[in-house]
A and B are shown apart, each in its own frame.
Chain A
């Protein structure tokens, strides 16, 4: 289990150009597998264009209390990239005027940003329909200062989306670190205790499942059924929906794929599972991703690959939704992760 980010380890893969080189080279360059561009050209979706903006996803920093093996952010305690209050203020200005109906805060562990609570309080006043915070659960139990997070989320009617790789201890701890399972269970029970995730509750609690290894997620509905049954029977935990998310071959997951000699098989599996019906609804068509330092991206994955939007407007200081929406989305072979099977997005399946 890694304890440091690729960046802190000064690993070659911490460089985004190195990752892009791998994604563009090898089995794709020698024609064994088709480029994503060619695949979506077949169905007239190249260049990929945005539809109506629905989701503003803001990454408030890469610092995290965990160092998950599959993390596409390469997050960890050693990451110092944290959104400043000034940038948060710029975000608030656009939250007030955006046409998007969903605000999605992510990280790292967003709660570790020192201005997180102020930001949530201010943003919740903007009257956005769905206000999501992606919480890794263990943060709620990491330190006394976070113990009241369930009440804080409730007070601001935050929609909590939390990662839970499996309903068994072994699989969860293998991916996320020792003790993560027990802490996550405790955190979920605390969220339930204030009303989150209960059958008729308006306090939304959804879980994210992503595979703990070099394989694709199974059927989202079937997984949800299994998770619900196991968590209720074993721990008396309830939640609303399960989102099955495919691991994209970038950052630490790419590092894992290469080190475990699974990279080629995984890319084959993604290409084989390519579903043209998922292309029209991939999340980059309705999302703008904002980084801790205010740059704009087509999605959180492109953010981690350093691929800024192909638009005149590249930074939040120049934010203009009309200009931004008139752009071509940047793609590479990692995009196969969002079009495999039933498709994958931060909101689960798309097809």
Chain B
């Protein structure tokens, strides 16, 4: 076993999770595949959403996968970076909006 937590080559083995729990694994991959099909949103739009979320959840496997997926779908690097910023903006906004809670508490405790 490698002496580090993340190995890029592990992404290729993702499908193997099914081996230890076939029913749940298969259900997951079936669901996953369905989610990214063309629907009310295009596969291209979903790929950009996935890329943004990949950054927010800080999943290196997902970042590799959806950068490649974006390239395959002809998504430009400018579009990819804007998607990352959309994720980052929500993430930082989520931190900052808690500032209101801090302000409320401060005001409550202060004379």
Contact = CB atoms under 8 A, between A and B. Distances in A.
Contacts of A177: none
A222 B72 contact: no
B74 A218 contact: yes
A216 B72 contact: yes
B105 interface: no
Contacts of B72: 211, 215-218
A268 interface: yes
A89 interface: no
A215 B74 contact: no
A218 B12 CA distance: 19
B85 interface: no
Nearest to B15: A272
Interface residues of A, number: 19
Pick from B42, B44, B73, B74 the residue with the most CB of A within 10 Å: B74
A226 B74 contact: yes
B76 A219 contact: no
B27 interface: no
Contacts of A213: 71
Given A168-B76, A268-B12, A222 B44 contact: yes
Interface string B10-38: 00100000000000000000000000001
A80 to B, nearest CB: 35
Contacts, number: 31
Interface in B46-74: 68, 71-74
Q: Give the most central of A170, A171, A218, A272: most B CB within 10 Å.
A: A218
Interface string A241-263: 00000000000000000000000
Contacts of B44: 222, 226
A170 B68 CA distance: 17
Q: How large is the interface on B (under 10, 10 to 19, 20 to 34, 35 or more residues)?
A: 10 to 19
B43 A222 contact: yes
* Chain B interface, >50% SS class: helix
Chain A CB within 10 Å, residue with most, of B43, B68, B72, B73: B72
A239 to B, nearest CB: 16
A211 B76 contact: no
A166 interface: yes
Nearest to B64: A265
Contacts of B73: 218-219, 222-223
Contacts of B76: 168, 170-171
Interface in A125-171: 166-168, 170-171
A340 to B, nearest CB: 11
Contacts of B43: 219, 222
B71 A211 contact: yes
A268 to B, nearest CB: 6
Contacts of A226: 44, 74
A215 B68 contact: yes
Given A219-B73, A222-B38, A222-B44, 6 more contacts: A171-B76, A215-B68, A215-B72, A218-B73, A218-B74, A222-B43
The 10 closest A-B pairs by CB, nearest first: A218-B73, A218-B72, A215-B71, A215-B68, A215-B72, A226-B74, A268-B12, A223-B74, A216-B72, A168-B76
Interface of B: 12, 38, 42-44, 68, 71-74, 76
25 contacts: A166-B74, A167-B74, A168-B76, A170-B76, A171-B76, A209-B74, A213-B71, A215-B68, A215-B71, A216-B72, A217-B72, A218-B72, A218-B73, A218-B74, A219-B73, A222-B38, A222-B42, A222-B43, A223-B73, A223-B74, A226-B44, A226-B74, A227-B74, A268-B12, A272-B12
